[in-house]
Every structure is written in C-alpha cells, then in structure tokens.
Structure 1
Amino acid sequence: MRERPSWLSTGILLLGALYCLIPVIWVLMASTKSSGELFSTFTLAPSSHLFDNISELSGYRDGLFWRWMANTVLYAGVGGLLSVVVSAAAGYGLAKYTFRGKDLSFKLLLAGVLVPGVVLAIPQYLLMAQIGLTNTYWSVLLPSIISPYGIYLARIYAGASVPDDVIEAARTDGAGEARTFFTIAMPMMAPALVTIFLFQFVAIWNNYMLPYIMLGNDRLFPLTVGLSGLLNQGASVPAMYTSVITGALLSIIPLIALFFLLQRYWKVDMGGAVKG
C-alpha cells in the first residue's frame, strides 16, 4: 500500500524551496529596475529596464564584464575537466591497486575533504609566487585541478562499479593499464565523473578568495572578483548597483543551463542502477 505524503514534511520542503528561490526572484526582478526605481519603493513587480541594464553593463570599459564571463568559463570549464581526469585516476588507483601507504593516503584524503579551500589560499599563493605564476591564468587553474572530495567520490564509485573480473579480462587480452583505465574503467565511472565535474565547476565558478589573492590584473578576473569590484564602486557611483545585480543575474544562467544539461545523465544512470 502506498504511503500518503506527510503534510508537515511537504510544507517544510516548500518553505525550504521558497527560502532558496526568494533571492533568485529578487535578483531577477531587481535587474529589470532602473537605478532610480531600485532605490525607491521596491516591489517584486518587474519593470522594463532589463535590456538597458544589460547594455550599460556590456558597455562598461569596452565589454569588460564579458571578458570576466569568458575567464570564468575558462577557469571552471578547464579546471573542472582536468579535475575529473585527476580524480578519476586517483580514485581508480586507490580502489583497484594495492601499494604501500594506501590506507594512509586515503585517510589524508579524507582529512583534505574537511579543510576549507579558503585556508589553503594563502599557502597556494606563496607557492605560485615562488614559481612566478601569480597574476596568470595558471595561478587559478592549477589549484583547481585537485579536488579531495572528487577523488573520494571517484574512489568509492570505482570500487563499487568497476568489477575486478573485467579489469583482469582486459589485462588477459593484452590491454595495458592506461588503456584499461581510459576505455573500460572511465565509461563505467561516468555517473560519478559527471557529478564530480558539476560540483567542481560550480565550486570554481563561485570561488572568490583564490582569484582575489592570485590576480592583480582586472582583465584576468572571474565574475566573482569583477562584480565585487563593481559593488565597491557603488558606494560612490550608485548607478553601479544595477550593473552588479544585472551581472549577478547573467552569471547564474550558465549554472542553471549546465544543471539541466547534465541532469538527464543522472536520471539515465539511476535507472540503470536500479535495473542492475
């Protein structure tokens, strides 16, 4: 017999969803306001200045905002893809190979999951300064490649979804370790790798402290640092606030699109997992 849903739990879920959606709705409505309307009596009713605000934002310093957008796509896209490859290889190695120090490595990995990224920003800056990579794209990309949580997730999934018999059969057929990993193990780990990519992409996209410390040239800034600079200018130029809000709206559109694009892979795989 099917259990009837609890009205209390449903109500709590709806309140939680509303709590998360209100800021998004506010940004959407505020981005349609002019600077005068924004600082007068504000309502959630939309206005008609969205495209004017986008045009004004696009015209700021010859389209600097779109340079920030492109930088962010570069940092998050390339960093996320490289992180997937590194996480998959490390997780597969921890799950399928036996070597000295394996347990200690995994315990250190678990400890790394608990360390906030902001704590590592200063040491990473000092390391990058020693090799002369600060204020370059590499200073943001290289630290983004390693994801302790991604490696942990890949290790758990590789242990559960890549059978030892399949690996042994590939070795018997003459496949090398690299070929076995890339052509057999990685396709089997695809659902975990999609999840790792999405998590790392969002983490890099929203990262503020690392690029703020690493970069001095505003043409290398991602959206987080660039919009923060515009927000600081709003104290003396209040019209900048509308540009910041419009930029915030445009900055979340790629994340929403990516989520809907990758969501179908989770659905397909969850169905496959149930069937298996």
Structure 2
Amino acid sequence: MSTQTATPEAPPAPVPTGRATPGPAPRRDRRGGFTSRIAVNTVLAVVAVYTLMPLTWLLIASTKSYRDLFATNPFSLGDFAFLANLNALLEYNDGIFVRWLLNSLLYTVVASVLSTLISVACGYAFDKYAFRGREKWFGVVLIGVLIPSTVVQLPLYLMASELGLVNTYWAVLIPGLVNPFGVYLARVFSEGYVPGEVLEAARVDGAGEVRTFAKVALPMLAPGFVTIFLFTFTASWNNFYGALMMLNDDQLYPVNLGLYMWNQNVYQQPELYPLVIIGSLVAVVPLIVAFLCLQRFWRSGLTAGAVK
C-alpha cells in the first residue's frame, strides 16, 4: 500500500470589501508643535504685559505722594499714601470728582440702556421684516459705522446750538442714543438667536408685533443685548471729545473730561498730579466691574451665528 501525504489547504483569499486598509498613523512632528506653542505663548505674554503694564504703573503710582512720584523708580512702591490720596481726591474742591463720577454714570448707563434697546429693535426689524428698501437702508447704517465719531462732532455741536442744548445734559445724552454698529450687531444676533418659526407661533397664538418682540424675541436676544450694551457702555464712558465740544460748565463734566482739565493745570498746581493718577485709577473701576459682572453673557454673545 502506498501512503499518500495530505497536501495542506491554502488559506482562503480575503474578500475585497472596497475599503483601503488603514496604514500606520503618520507621526506628528512633536518638535514643530512644541515650537508653535512656545511662539504663541510668547506672543500672548508680550501682549498681556503690554496691556497690563499701564494699569500696573497706575496702581503703583497711586500709592505715592507727589515727592515719591519723581524721586523713586516708576515701578517701586511709595510710602503707601493710597488712602491719603483717595481722601484728597474725594475732598478736593468740595468733592467735584464725585460729581464727575456720577455724571459719567448718568451719561453712560442711561445712554447705553436706551441705545442698546433702540439698536436691538432696529436690528430685529431689519432681520425679520420685509419692507421696501430694506437693504438700502441697512447700507446707510453700514456707512454710519465707517464714519469716525469725531467727524460728526462739529455738525452735532451746531445742531445742539440751534436747539439751545449746548452745555446741558441732553447735549451728551442724545447723540449717545445713535449706534450704527449696534444695529449691525443686533441684526447678526437676531439671525442667530431668533428663529422665524417661534415668531410665527407667537403670532398664531394672538400676540401682536410689540408683544412678540418684548416677550419672545427680546429674551432670546439677551446675550446679544448684553454684548451691545458692553460695547456701548465702554464707548460712552470714554466719550471725551463729544463732552469737550458740548460742555463748558465743570459741574456737568464727565470724569474723563474733568481729569483732563486737572491734568492741564498740573504745572500751576502740582498737588493735582497725584489726584489725576488716583482719579484715573478710580475711573477704570466701573469698566472692570461691568465686564466682570456681564462676561458670561458677553462671551456667549460673541459666538452668535458661529454654528449653523
């Protein structure tokens, strides 16, 4: 008998699946990524130092007396005269600085709230209503964004002079109500936050247009409202040139114009120099408080329309 050796069977051929076999993952250049992070962090550190250095100097200088301001290193602490400087600031000229601070709050808060409400209503109308010449009128708004505010101050002064509003609170408040950039932002926020279907549902339920805007659209636009309010608040608080053109009575000055007038007289009155420094520090506090309190809404508002 002959013995037959069994031939081993060949493994079955793989069935093609139409998918390419994934190869080994490419290695990332760790050195390149590390270098990029160092470059980015270096740039951010330089920007942070550039931004914080003036505020740091202002904080340190507010602790110095007039003699220490010029006798010590700019970034070295003085004799801790902060409380004395603050007390002198609040008592100088019967507390005129407190009045300037209250004037700034009046100009800024009232103008910012009303301007933001007007801007949001206009942006909502440009987005949700179809009317004749809508895009052309919106183009006029965009032209207003491109015009610097200093260019229109002289025409505004002439108009206020004709109406007898020069050297009054209204001369600063009324121009602050117009904010073309706020209208543009409000339209962007309306497109990103307010669905048309929700408005249609509110109209079907019997809500009028004003009630639909106030009860339905405005709560949805809360992040955008806060964002526009912060931009308007900052612009109104820093509105120096408009107040300089419109006001002559020091009782009506905002805080930035009052500090400017003090700074103009430091050579004749050297005791004003520490007051200008600590007054500038106090004038920054409302802006910091506003941003810290509203930053949650502001950060969410800046991402409006980013995800479709």
Quickly name the TM-score band, shorter chain normalised.
Answer: over 0.9
> What pairs with 1:235-274 in structure 2 (closer than 5 Å)?
235-266=267-298
Q: Deviations over 1:233-272 (max 9, x none)?
A: 1021122111000100000011111110001224566899
Q: Which amino acid aligns with 2:98?
A: W
Q: Do residues 153 (structure 1) and 157 (structure 2) align? A: no
In 1: Cα distance, 2:188 partner to 2:218 partner: 13
**How far 1:42 moved relative to its partner?**
2.6
**How far 1:45 moved relative to its partner?**
2.1
Taking structure 1 as reference, are residues 270 and 76 closer, same or farther at Cα in structure 2, changes over 3 Å only? Answer: closer
Q: Deviations over 1:155-181 (max 9, x none)?
A: 111122111111111111111110001
Residue 262 of structure 2 corresponds to 230
Q: Deviations over 1:64-94 (max 9, x none)?
A: 0000000001111111100111001100000
Residue 12 of structure 1 corresponds to 43
1:66 to 94, 98, 106: 98
Q: Do residues 200 (structure 1) and 235 (structure 2) align? A: no
Unaligned runs of 5+ in 2: 1-27
CA contact (8 A) 2:62 2:274 kept: yes
Residue 27 of structure 1 corresponds to 58
Unaligned runs of 5+ in 1: none
Residue 55 of structure 1 corresponds to 87
Q: Do residues 124 (structure 1) and 156 (structure 2) align? A: yes
In 1: Cα distance, 2:296 partner to 2:47 partner: 24
Q: Which amino acid aligns with 1:30?
A: A
Residue 104 of structure 1 corresponds to 136
Tell me the SS of whatever aligns to 1:61: helix
Q: Do residues 168 (structure 1) and 215 (structure 2) align? A: no
Larger Rg: 2
CA contact (8 A) 2:112 2:177 kept: yes
In 2: Cα distance, 1:267 partner to 1:106 partner: 26
Q: Which amino acid aligns with 1:246?
A: I
Q: Deviations over 1:209-256 (max 9, x none)?
A: 001111111011001110000001102112211100010000001111
Q: Do residues 182 (structure 1) and 211 (structure 2) align? A: no
Tell me the SS of whatever aligns to 2:130: coil
Taking structure 1 as reference, are residues 274 and 109 closer, same or farther at Cα in structure 2, changes over 3 Å only? Answer: closer
Q: Which amino acid aligns with 1:10?
A: N
In 2: Cα distance, 1:266 partner to 1:226 partner: 30
In 1: Cα distance, 2:164 partner to 2:212 partner: 37
Tell me the SS of whatever aligns to 1:6: helix
**How far 1:275 moved relative to its partner?**
9.8
Q: Which amino acid aligns with 1:93?
A: A
Taking structure 1 as reference, are residues 140 and 270 closer, same or farther at Cα in structure 2, changes over 3 Å only? Answer: closer
Q: Which amino acid aligns with 1:8?
A: A
In 2: Cα distance, 1:232 partner to 1:118 partner: 21
Of stretches 204-213 and 42-51 in structure 1, the one that deviates more from structure 2 is 42-51
In 2: Cα distance, 1:57 partner to 1:187 partner: 42
Q: Which amino acid aligns with 2:63?
A: T
In 2: Cα distance, 1:212 partner to 1:229 partner: 10
Q: TM-score, normalised by structure 2?
A: 0.85
Of stretches 157-166 and 174-183 in structure 1, the one that deviates more from structure 2 is 157-166
1:42 to 50, 63, 73: 73
Tell me the SS of whatever aligns to 1:183: helix
User: Using CA pairs below 8 Å that are at least 6 residues apart, which structure has the higher relative contact order?
Assistant: 1
Percent of aligned positions with the same letter in both sequences?
Answer: 42
Taking structure 1 as reference, are residues 182 and 118 closer, same or farther at Cα in structure 2, changes over 3 Å only? Answer: same
CA contact (8 A) 2:223 2:300 kept: no
Q: TM-score, normalised by structure 1?
A: 0.95
What root-mean-square deviation, in Å, do the aligned CA atoms of Structure 1 and Structure 2 show? Answer: 2.0
